Structure 1
Amino acid sequence: MKAQVLLALGAAALVGCQPAELAAPHSAHETPAFKQFFQALAQHCGQAYPGGLTLEPEGDDMLTGTELLIVHFRECSDEQLKLPFHIELEASQSWDRSRTWIISRHADGLELRHDHRKADGSDDSTTMYGGFTVGEGSAITQQFQSISRTEESGYFRGWRIEIEPGVRYTYGTVRGDNWSWRIDFDLTKPLAEFPPPPWGHD
């Protein structure tokens, strides 16, 4: 998938699906792209937004595409953002509140971790996996590499997050240059009521 988007903070248009996106070199006085990206996410702190499945690999039945999905920009600091991801379970009329995306800012880039919990709040058997940003990225797109998955497959694998402030938040997995799994949230429609805390969080 290739989609041209405008940089949120005034850079040139770019194609948003390269595994190691590069922006123009920044001057000593220009904010690095990863910091602009983090700031763009932080603009939505304290809000929750609806979304849905956009793309899923063939044979993957985690979602049907009809569920309501919610991202909540719930916990924010200057160095870390915690975004719970809530999944409506239509069959049981309940919610899966097991997942929280954690995005941390370091001196030279960003780190993405996936905090997975069981309903009782304890850690899932697979949790806190993730990776660090690769390349410069841009103010609206950053990619995070899974070293183990990349080494196993022989091509880039990891996660891509896009943010157009006030418009769209997108999260998904990538294989090579392409999305393999993707969900989109509508930032033009903040929810009037926030979801409860994710499992394992107060």
Structure 2
Amino acid sequence: MKKSILILSIFLTSIPTFAQTDQTGTEHGSLMFWNNLSLLCGKSFEGEMVNASEKDQFYGKKLVMHVRTCEDGKITIPFHVGDDHSRTWVLTLEEGNMIKLKHDHRHEDGSEDRITQYGGMSSNTGMAKVQFFPADQETTDLIPYAATNVWWITLDEKSFSYNLRRINNDTAINVKFDLSKEVETPPTPWGW
């Protein structure tokens, strides 16, 4: 009986739980989001387009995210689209409690794409389960039509979603990943 209790205790303490506070005990939404995302480090998950149509660039392709690195203040998440390993979402913790999202695009030889490093900074500390990233000035200078882009990421115990909406436009991308089932880790993304 004691052996069974010990095994159960070890098992329960090995199950990851979503963080409720940051290291100082302050409940900043951005830091809870960051800590919860870090719990997924090293894991890969398959996703699907939400409300996809045949016009969508990802339609009919295998979509896999891999929370590849969780260094101090930086999380990289390659987004694999079929055999295309050119995309990596790069999240950095800025000013202690704000999160910046950048899109790193590479060619197969590892060189940077002409359109890369666009994204934005969270406009506030957000919530533990959602972070919003309006397009920054670098994005506006690089891709003028993307000046009204708003990206957001949702995260809970069951799913991670990556979303894009362009204000005053019907363009929308929504990819939802099932966190309940890990998949095989894809190849190293191009340029990394």
Q: Does TM, scored on the shorter chain, surpass 0.5?
A: yes
1:184 matches 2:182? no
Instruction: Give the alignment partner of residue 100 of structure 2, picking from 104, 111, 114.
Output: 111
Measured after TM superposition, the shift of residue 30 of structure 1 is 2.0
Structure (1 or 2) with the greater helix fraction:
2
What pairs up with 1:32-51 in 2 under 5 angstroms?
32-51=28-47
Distance 1:68 1:102 in 2: 21
Measured after TM superposition, the shift of residue 63 of structure 1 is 2.0
Identity %: 31
Measured after TM superposition, the shift of residue 61 of structure 1 is 3.7
Question: Equivalent residue of 1:187, what SS?
Answer: strand
Distance 1:175 1:124 in 2: 22
1:63 matches 2:58? yes
Partner of 2:86: 98
Partner of 2:70: 76
Deviations 1:4-49 (A, max 9, x none): xxxx667xxxxxxxxxxxxxxxxx8423110111111111001000
Distance 1:43 1:108 in 2: 18
Gaps of 5+ in 2: 1-17
Question: Equivalent residue of 1:142, what SS?
Answer: strand
Contact (CA 8 Å) 2:97, 2:125: kept in 1 or not? no
1:171 matches 2:166? no
Partner of 2:151: 159
Question: Equivalent residue of 2:132, what SS?
Answer: strand
Partner of 1:4: none
Measured after TM superposition, the shift of residue 59 of structure 1 is 8.7
CA 1:146 to 1:59, structure 2 compared with 1: closer, same or farther past 3 Å?
Answer: farther
Distance 2:100 2:46 in 1: 24
Measured after TM superposition, the shift of residue 174 of structure 1 is 2.2
Question: Equivalent residue of 1:41, what SS?
Answer: helix
The normalised TM-score by structure 2 is 0.76
Contact (CA 8 Å) 1:134, 1:145: kept in 2 or not? yes
Aligned length: 167
Please identify runs of 4+ aligned residues in structure 1 that moved more than 3 A. Answer: 58-61, 147-153, 175-179
Distance 2:55 2:123 in 1: 27
CA 1:75 to 1:9, structure 2 compared with 1: closer, same or farther past 3 Å?
Answer: closer
Partner of 1:142: 131
Deviations 1:49-101 (A, max 9, x none): 00111145x8954122x22100000111131100000011xxxxxx0000000
**Structure with larger Rg:** 2
